[in-house]
Amino acid sequence: MTKSLDQAATSNDAEIPRGNLSGFKRYMKDDLVAGGLVFLIALPLCLGISIASGFPAIAGVFTAIVGSVLTTFLSNSELTIKGPAAGMIVIVLGAVTSFGYTGGVDAAADMQAYQMALAVGVVAGLCQVAFGLLRAGVLGDFFPTSAVHGMLAAIGVIIIAKQLPVTVGQTASGEPLEIIRELPHTLMAANPEIAAIGIVSLVILFGMSFWKSRTKNTIVKAVPAPLLVLLVAVPMGVWFDLAHEHTYSMFGHEYSLGEKFLVNVPFNLVGAMAFPDFRVFTNGETLPVALKWIVMFSLIGSLESLLSAKAVDMLDPYRRKTNLNRDLVAVGIANTAVSCIGGLPMISEIVRSKANIDNQAKTRFADMWHGVFLLGFVALLPALIHRIPLSALAAMLVFTGFRLASPSEFMSVYRVGKEQLVIFVTTIIAVLSTDLLIGIGIGIATKFAIHYLNGVSPRSLLFPYLDIEENVDGEITVHAAESAVFSNWIAFRRQLVSASLVHGKGATIDFSNAHLVDHSVMEKLHELEDEFHRAGVELTIVGLDNHTPLSDHPMAARKRQPVH
C-alpha cells in the first residue's frame, strides 16, 4: 500500500529519498524517467529563452547542462530543476542592449555585447556565492508577496510584448510601453506563413492547458505541450521550406522566407563556447553600466531562485527542506562556471520543477539526468534543432508570459485584499515605466505607505515588538505588539525560532495586542506552521479574534478593532 503524505513526511530518514549514492542507485529508474520527460519541456524553452535574451540559442542549453550537473552535487534541493528562466529575459536582454546589442544588424557588436554580459554573469555569480556564505537566503522573506507577483506579472507583459511579434515573423525593439503601443501595427505587418506556425503553436499551448485543467485522463496530462508544439511546428516549417531562401506572394504583398526564421545552432559545441570580456570593468563608460547589471543579475536572480526553491519544497511529497543558503552558493558557482563558457544566468525554475514532481522524480539526480539528455540531444542531433521555427519558440514564451500576467493573477491578488491589488498594479506599472529594481522598490514603498495609513508606527515597520516567555511545561509564548509586517518579519521569525524551534519546543504566538498583521506575514506564518509540524512540535496562533480581516481570504491582512 502506498504511504499517505503525512506518513511519508513522518517516516524515518531511511524511507525518505535522498540525493546520495544510495538514493542514486535505488531511485535511478524514477529519476531517469522524470529527467527525460523534463528534458522534453526544457529543450525548446532553453532555446527560446536564450534567443529572447539576446544570447545565441545554444547558450540556454549550456546553462541547463552545467547547472543541472553542478547543482546536483552542490545543493541539497531535491526536486528543483536549475536552468534559464523566462523571468530573467528582461534583465539579460537589458544588459546586452546596454552594451551595444543590435539584434543581428552588426554581428561584431552583438558578439562584444554578449561577451560583456558574460563578464557581468561571472561577477554576479560570485556575488550569489557570497550571499549564500553570508546566509542571505533569509532575504527571500523580506520582499512583500504582492510586489514580487507584480514584478513577475510585469515581466510577463514585457515577454508577451516582445515575443508576440516574433510569432508572426516580425521583431520589436524599444521600451516596453513603446512596443505595446506599436503592437497593433506590428501584427498587421505579419508574415502569413510564419504567423500560421505561431498561431497554431499558441492554439496548441492554450488548448492543451485548458484541456489538462478539465480532464482526468492521465495520458493527456502527461503529454508535454511544448513537445506537441514541436511535433506540429517542425513539419510546418518543412512544408513552408524555411530552410531555403525564397519569396511568396499573398494578399497582394510579397513576403520572404528562409533560415533566419529557424533556430541557429552550431554543429560543434566546443566551438560554440564564448568567453567573458572583462574589459567591461576597465572602461570608464561601461563600468557603471556593468555594475548596475551585476546588481540586477544577482539580486533579482537570487530572489527568483529562492522563491522557486521554497515553492518547490511546499510541493515535495516528502516535505524535504532546501538549505536556501547552500542552494544560493550552488547556483552562484554554477552561474559563474556557465558564464565562463557562454551560458545564460540560471535559477531554480518553477515550471520545470513542477513537471519534475508531477513525473514522480525522487531525488536531485532527476535534474542531472535532464541535463545529460540535453547534452546528448544537442551533441548528436543539432540538425534537428535547426529545423525548429523561431515562431514556435516565441509562442511558448508568449504562453509563459501570459501565465505570469494572466487575468487570474489579478483576481487572485484582489481576493486577498484591495490594498494588495493596489500594490500589485502599482508594481506592474512602475516596472513597465522604469526597470525591475526601481519598479519593485516603488511596489515596496507603496506597501510601506499603505501600512502607515493603517496606523503602523515607523519604528515597528522595521523592528518587531515581542515579549517571549516560557511556561513550566517548556512551552514558549510570544506576545506580539505593534505590528507584524513583511519588513520586520525576518527579525520576528529569528527571535521566535531561536526561542522555540531551535530547542525542539512548540510555541504560541499571541497577537491580541498587535495593531496589524499583514498578508505577507499571514503567509509566512502558514509556512512556519508547516515547518514546526515537520519538526514534531506545534505552532499555535491566537489573539486574532478582535482583528478584522481586510477581505474574506484566509491569508488576508488583519487589523485590530478599536477598543471602545
Which domains, ranges and CATH numbers included, belong to the chain?
33-403 (no CATH), 418-453 (no CATH), 459-560 (3.30.750.24)
pLDDT score for 299: 93
Neighbour tally for 411: CB within 10 Å: 10
pLDDT score for 4: 36
What is the DSSP secondary-structure string of 219-268? HHHHS-HHHHHHHHHHHHHHHTTTTS-EEEEETTEEEEESGGGB----S-
Query: Which residues are within 8 A (CB) of 377 and not within 5 positions of it... i.e. 6 or more apart?
Result: 39, 43, 385
Residues forming beta bridges with residue 257, ordered by sequence position:
246
Cα angle 353, 357, 360; round to 5: 140
User: SS3 for 560?
Assistant: strand
Cell (9 digits) for 544: 486574532
Q: What is the 3-state secondary structure (H, E, C) of 404-465?
A: HCCHHHHHHHHHHCHHHHHHHHHHHHHHHHCCHHHHHHHHHHHHHHHHHHCCCCCHHHCCCE
Cell (9 digits) for 114: 554578449
Cell (9 digits) for 453: 495609513
d(CA 58, CA 65): 11
User: SS3 for 387?
Assistant: coil
CA distances 139 to 134, 180, 278, Å, are: 11, 33, 29
Cell (9 digits) for 66: 552545467
The pTM assigned to this predicted structure is 0.89
Cell (9 digits) for 143: 520582499
Query: Which residues are within 8 A (CB) of 152 and not within 5 positions of it... i.e. 6 or more apart?
Result: 87, 404, 405
Query: Which residues are within 8 A (CB) of 49 and not within 5 positions of it... i.e. 6 or more apart?
Result: 60, 84, 85, 86, 88, 89, 344, 397
* Side-chain-facing half-sphere of 464: CA atoms under 13 Å: 24
174, amino acid identity: G
pLDDT score for 314: 83
What is the DSSP secondary-structure string of 152-171? HHHHHHHHHHHHHHHHTT--
* Long-range contacts of residues 135-140, Cβ cutoff 8 Å, at least 24 apart: 135/325, 136/302, 136/325, 136/328, 137/306, 137/323, 137/324, 137/325, 137/327, 137/328, 138/324, 138/490, 138/493, 138/494, 139/302, 139/303, 139/306, 139/490, 140/302, 140/303, 140/306, 140/307, 140/310, 140/324
User: SS3 for 72?
Assistant: helix
Cell (9 digits) for 413: 491578488
- DSSP-derived secondary structure letter, 384: H
Please, what's the b/e burial string for 197-213 (b: 16 or more CB within 10 A of its CB; e: otherwise)?
A: bbbbbbebbeebeeeee
Q: Summarize pLDDT for 271-287 with one digit per residue, the tens.
A: 899 999 999 999 999 99
Query: Which residues are within 8 A (CB) of 90 and not within 5 positions of it... i.e. 6 or more apart?
Result: 155, 158, 159, 436
Cell (9 digits) for 120: 557581468
d(CA 285, CA 282): 9
Cell (9 digits) for 71: 547543482
User: SS3 for 284?
Assistant: coil
Burial class of 372 by CB neighbour count within 10 A (0 to 12, 13 to 18, 19+): middle
pLDDT tens, position by position, for the chain (564 residues)?
333 334 334 444 447 898 899 999 999 999 999 999 999 999 999 999 999 999 999 999 999 999 999 999 999 999 999 999 999 999 999 999 999 999 989 999 999 999 999 999 999 999 999 999 999 988 888 889 899 999 999 999 999 999 999 999 998 888 899 999 999 999 999 999 999 999 999 999 999 999 998 988 888 888 899 999 999 999 999 999 999 999 999 988 999 999 999 999 888 888 899 999 999 999 999 999 999 999 999 999 999 999 899 889 888 998 898 999 999 999 999 999 999 999 999 999 988 999 999 999 999 999 999 999 999 999 988 999 999 999 999 999 999 999 999 999 999 999 999 999 999 999 999 999 988 889 999 999 999 999 999 999 999 999 999 999 988 777 899 999 999 999 999 999 999 999 999 999 999 999 999 999 999 999 999 989 988 988 889 999 999 998 999 999 999 999 998 765
CB 119 within 8 A of CB 335: no
Give CA 159 to chain center in angstroms: 13
Query: Which residues are within 8 A (CB) of 130 and not within 5 positions of it... i.e. 6 or more apart?
Result: 332
